[in-house]
Structure 1
Amino acid sequence: MTNAIKVGISSCVLGENVRFDSGHKISKFVTKELAPYFEFISVCPEVGMGMPVPRPTIRLISNDERIALVETKNPENEHTANMLDYSEQKVGELKTQDLCGYIVCAKSPTCGMERVKVYRKGGADNTGVGLFTQELMKQMPWLPVEEDGRLNDPVLKENFIARIFVLKDFYDSMGDEPTAGKLVAFHSRYKLTLMAHHPQSYKELGRLVANTKDYDPITFYQKYRDGLMKAVSNRASRKNNTNVLMHIQGYFKRALDKHQKAELCAVIEEYRQGTLPLLAPITLIKHYLATYPDDYLLEQKFLQPHPQEMRLRYGL
Structure 2
Amino acid sequence: MESFPRPVLLVSRCLEFDKVRYNGQKVSSPVVRDLMPFADMKTVCPEVEIGLGVPRAPLRIIRKNDEYRLVQPGTGLNLTEKMNVFTENFLNELGEVDGFIFKGLSPSMSLGNVKVYARTEMSPVVERSAGFFAGHVINRYHGYPMEESERLLNPRIRHHYLTCLYAFADFRQIENQASIDSLLDFHRKNSFLFVSYNPEVFDKMSGLIADADEIHQVSDEYKLLLKETLRKPGSEVLKTETAWKMFLMSDDKANNESYFFEEILGRYADNRISWDAVIEVLRMFSFRTFGEESYKDRFLYPYPEKLKASVDESREKDYWDNEWNKR
SS in 2 for 1:12: coil
Conserved 8 A contact 1:4-1:39: yes
Instruction: Measure, in 2, the Cα distance between the counterparts of 1:241 and 1:292.
Output: 21
Corresponding residue for residue 223 of structure 1: 221
Q: Which has the higher helix share?
A: 1
Deviations 1:98-121 (A, max 9, x none): 222111010111100011100015
Cα shift at 1:153: 0.9
Q: Are 1:10 and 2:7 an aligned pair?
A: no
| 2: CA distance, partners of 1:297 / 1:164 | 21
Query: How far apart are 1:63 and its partner, in Å?
Result: 1.5
1:296 shift after superposition? 8.2
C-alpha separation in 2, matches of 1:227 and 1:186: 14
| Residues 66/23 of structure 1: CA separation in 2 closer, same or farther (3 Å cut) | same
Q: Kindly state the Cα deviation for residue 313 of structure 1 after the two structures are TM-superposed.
A: 9.5
3-state SS in 1 of match to 2:218: helix
Tell me if structure 2 keeps the 8 A contact 1:142–1:225: no
Match of 1:263 among 260, 284, 295: 260
How big is each residue's C-alpha offset from its partner over 1:191-213, in whole Å with a ceiling of 9 and x where there is no partner?
11111112232122223223536
Displacement after TM superposition at 1:15 (Å): 4.0
Aligned to 1:82: 82
Distance 1:86 1:219 in 2: 35
Indicate the SS of the match to 1:207.
helix
AA aligned to 1:170 is F
Residue 44 of structure 1: aligned partner? 45
The CA distance in 2 between the partners of 1:3 and 1:186, in whole Å, is 13
Question: Distance between the aligned counterparts of 1:258 and 1:3, measured in 2?
Answer: 39
Distance 1:286 1:313 in 2: 19
Q: In structure 2, what is the Cα distance between the partners aligned to 1:73 and 1:10?
A: 24
Counterpart residue number, 1:198: 198
Farther off after superposition, 159-168 or 47-56: 47-56
Distance 1:313 1:276 in 2: 16
Structure (1 or 2) with the larger CA radius of gyration: 2
Distance 2:79 2:264 in 1: 57
1:1-316 aligned within 5 A: 4-31=6-33, 33-75=34-76, 77-94=77-94, 96=95, 98-120=96-118, 123-174=124-175, 176-210=176-210, 212=212, 217-218=215-216, 220-252=218-250, 255-293=252-290, 299-312=296-309
**Secondary structure of 2:41's aligned partner:** strand
Equivalent position SS for 2:15: helix
Report % sequence identity: 20
1:226 Cα deviation after fit: 2.8
In 2: Cα distance, 1:185 partner to 1:28 partner: 32
| Residues 290, 235 of structure 1: alpha-carbon distance in 2 compared, 3 angstrom cutoff | closer
Distance 1:193 1:28, change over 3 A: closer
Q: One-letter code of the match for 1:26?
A: S
Are the counterparts in 1 of residues 101 and 146 from structure 2 also a CA contact under 8 Å?
yes
State the shift of 1:79 in Å.
0.7
Report the Cα distance in structure 2 between the residues aligned to 1:211 and 1:80, rounded to whole angstroms.
49
Give the number of equivalent residue pairs.
306
- Distance (whole Å) between structure 2 residues aligned to residue 237 and residue 4 of structure 1: 29
- In structure 1, the gaps of 5 or more residues are none
RMSD: 2.5
TM (normalized to structure 2)? 0.85
Structure 2 unaligned runs (5+)?
Answer: 313-327
Letter in 1 for 2:91: V
Q: TM-score, normalised by structure 1?
A: 0.88
| CA distance in 2 between partners of 1:219 and 1:70 (Å) | 46
